[in-house]
């Protein structure tokens, strides 16, 4: 999430009542979790295992629960509970806004766009020209939709990220302050769900087409001209490059990359990143030809065992 205008270090620290190290006037231009940070961003860390990763990341302000030397060119905010203070900041800068109408007065809807009955369009949403948004679609706050986009009935754009942190014996929700950005000429089928980023953006690239009943997780970035068949499920923080095809019921684990032009056959499961311009199959996924050979050999095992018994 970008902070417009930017904030000073002492302003941010005072909001959560914490001490800091660095120039009080140091500029903070965004708030982001560690997977998405850029220079100018604030992030947090609360476990020694990840101290080095956070301190050496692109983030220039880190909320941390231990007093450590401040890296050159960065600032630190010292907190007893960085996760809770991070959540306080995201709620402060992007609080929940109650809807007062089916289509918010702050939404922008482009020329030629059709909103069918019972469409909900939240606060500060932007929809481009010549789109068709079918009945019972819900578009949550701050989402951005380009031109010539078609969204079919029952789809939800911008629901909260499924991102939880376990504290003691319960799960604490990580507040979602990111957006969904859908580029031009995208078509999304019925009853799909596309989660907003936790603090960055979930992005659907130009020309991508999706079938019905598809789940796209938080902070996932999908390239141009991809094709997803029904019941594809994609976890958070996945990068899918251009021209990828995922056939029905493919499942994709978090934090991985699918290379440009990859084709993944139906009911496959991806637990690791895969190269582009190849056909993949199975769970765990392998190159399709190799997987088919493996399955053919497995079928022969009973006869091989019988021969060995003789």
| Residues marked as catalytic | 218
Rounded CA-CA distance 134/191 in Å is 11
Q: Are 222 and 236 within 8 A, CB to CB?
A: no
Q: What is the CA radius of gyration of the chain?
A: 23
Q: How far is CA 15 from CA 86, 101, 245, in A?
A: 11, 32, 46
Phi-psi region of 17 (alpha: psi -120 to 50; beta: other; left: phi over 0): left
Rounded CA-CA distance 41/197 in Å is 15
Q: Name the 3-class secondary structure at 76.
A: strand
Rounded CA-CA distance 182/147 in Å is 9
The tokens for 128 are 């481009």
Q: How many CB atoms lie within 10 A of CB 265?
A: 18
The b-or-e profile of 216-230 (16+ CB within 10 A means b, else e) is bbbbbbbbbebbbbb
Rounded CA-CA distance 240/236 in Å is 11
Closest CA to 129 of 151, 114, 107, 116: 114
Provide the 8-state DSSP code for 20: E
User: Can you tell me which residue has the tokens 């609080």?
Assistant: 95
Q: Are 125 and 108 within 8 A, CB to CB?
A: yes
Q: Which residues contact 86 (CB under 8 A, 6 or more apart)?
A: 31, 43, 44, 63
């Amino acid at each position: 999430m970008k902070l417009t205008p930017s904030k000073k270090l002492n302003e941010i620290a005072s909001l959560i009542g914490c001490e800091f190290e660095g120039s009080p006037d140091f500029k903070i231009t965004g708030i982001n979790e560690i997977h998405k940070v850029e220079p100018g961003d604030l992030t947090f860390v609360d476990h020694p295992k990840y101290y080095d990763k956070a301190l050496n990341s692109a983030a220039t302000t880190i909320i941390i629960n231990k007093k450590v030397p401040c890296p050159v060119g960065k600032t630190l905010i010292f907190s007893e509970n960085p996760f809770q203070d991070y959540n306080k900041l995201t709620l402060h800068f992007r609080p929940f806004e109650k809807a007062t109408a089916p289509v918010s007065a702050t939404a922008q809807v482009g020329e030629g766009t059709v909103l069918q009955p019972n469409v909900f369009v939240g606060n500060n949403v932007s929809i481009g020209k010549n789109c068709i948004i079918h009945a019972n679609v819900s578009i949550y706050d701050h989402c951005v939709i380009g031109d010539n986009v078609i969204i079919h009935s029952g789809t939800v754009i911008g629901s909260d990220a499924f991102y939880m942190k376990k504290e003691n014996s319960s799960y604490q929700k990580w507040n979602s302050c990111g957006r969904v950005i859908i580029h031009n000429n995208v078509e999304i089928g019925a009853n799909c769900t596309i989660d907003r980023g936790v603090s960055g953006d979930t992005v659907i690239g130009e020309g991508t087409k999706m079938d019905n009943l598809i789940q796209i997780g938080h902070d996932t970035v999908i390239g141009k001209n991809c094709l997803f068949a029904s019941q594809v499920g994609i976890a958070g923080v996945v990068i899918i490059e251009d021209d990828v095809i995922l056939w029905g019921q493919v499942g994709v684990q978090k934090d991985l990359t699918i290379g440009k032009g990859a084709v993944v056959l139906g009911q496959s499961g991806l637990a690791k990143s895969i190269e582009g311009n190849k056909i993949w199959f199975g769970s765990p996924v392998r190159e399709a030809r190799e997987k088919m050979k493996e399955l053919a050999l497995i079928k022969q095992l009973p006869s091989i065992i019988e021969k060995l018994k003789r």
